[in-house]
Amino acid sequence: MADVVSAFQSWWGDLVRQNPPGWIEAFGVTILEVVISTVVGVFCYATSRDKGYREMVRGSAGLVSFNLVLRTLSHILMLQIYAWLCGDGASWQNVAFTRVSAEVPSVRKLLTQFALAICIFDVLFYSWHRMLHSPRLYRKIHSVHHTFEHRSKHRVPLAVYYVHPIEMLLLEMSVHLSCSLQGAHVLTYLFSGTMALLMALYGHSGRDLFGLMSHEHHHVRESKNYGATGMMDFLWGSFESRKAGKGPYMRVELCLRNEAS
């Protein structure tokens, strides 16, 4: 185990010395997301015998790919704006929102920063997610995600990326801020982004992750469970356990919010 840790520290040190921080931060998370999303998409398509489900997976590829490109370009744009604010004609490649250094944080520090990142992300995600459920914003933006989820009796994990571009930017900004606000190491950012993606993919598969609030229940009762962990929902009274639902889960038709009527 010690040899593996030593090899990683050596590889990471070389990577940091040979590449500018902006590249590591922007493209590091992109590579991880593309690889994970591709593996999940191919697996779902290859292992399903349901024609409708396979069509859903294939149909999601266009918007999912667009949003992955969009998140990378938006990250670079935000870095460039930050570089301009720093002055001296700095380039986005030479700045980062997180701490990029050859030093590898200890496991304890990484997990501590990760735990804080989860709390910050839950506050941000809950806030804008609940805002997008207002009637006007729901129809114009958030319905893209919920409509896709309601097309089939099956859940498609890649639905996590099947969102309006504005929602994708909000999601991207939330992940950034959850790490940058605490001055976290870039490895914490990469680890947090990877874990958040894996949990989101699992949550959009129709299953619940033990210990976390049911996101699947949100797609049945859209006025409940806005957050990522349940912390904010518990505080603001929108938490509801999956067991609270009456009867088996049934696919609902397009949920374009009746609350305004």
Domain contains 250: no
Flag whether pLDDT at 255 surpasses 60: no
More confident residue, 119 or 200: 119
Residue 152 forms part of a structural domain:
yes
Token look-up 């349940």 returns 230
> 258 lies in a domain?
no
Whether residue 82 is predicted with pLDDT greater than 70 in this model: the reply is yes
pLDDT at position 252:
34
Confidence of residue 208 (pLDDT cuts 50, 70, 90): low
Q: Has residue 94 been placed in a domain? A: yes
Residue 246: its pLDDT value, please?
43
93 found inside a domain: yes
Per residue in 160-170, pLDDT tens? 888 899 998 99
Has residue 254 been placed in a domain? Answer: no
Which of 6, 203, 225, 39 is closest to 130 using CA atoms? 225
Contact 186, 99 (CB under 8 A): yes
Higher pLDDT, 174 or 227: 174
pLDDT for 121-132, tens place per residue? 999 999 999 999
Average pLDDT of the chain, as a whole number: 83
Q: Is 79 helix (H, G, I), strand (E, B) or coil?
A: helix
Our count of domains for the chain comes to 1
Q: Does 131 map to a domain?
A: yes
Q: pLDDT-based confidence at 249, cuts 50/70/90?
A: very low
More confident residue, 177 or 208: 177
Q: In the structure, what pLDDT confidence band is assigned to residue 21 with cuts at 50, 70 and 90?
A: very high
Distance of CA 57 to the CA centre of its chain: 18
The boundaries of the domain holding residue 32 are 2-244
Residue 152: pLDDT band with limits 50, 70, 90:
low
Mean of pLDDT values over 206-210 = 63
Report residue 247's pLDDT band, with 50, 70 and 90 as the boundaries.
very low
Contact 146, 46 (CB under 8 A): no
Is residue 55 domain-resident?
yes
Indicate whether 254 pLDDT > 90.
no
What pLDDT sits at residue 187?
A: 95
pLDDT > 90 fraction of the chain, expressed in percent and rounded: 40
pLDDT (average), residues 5-22: 92
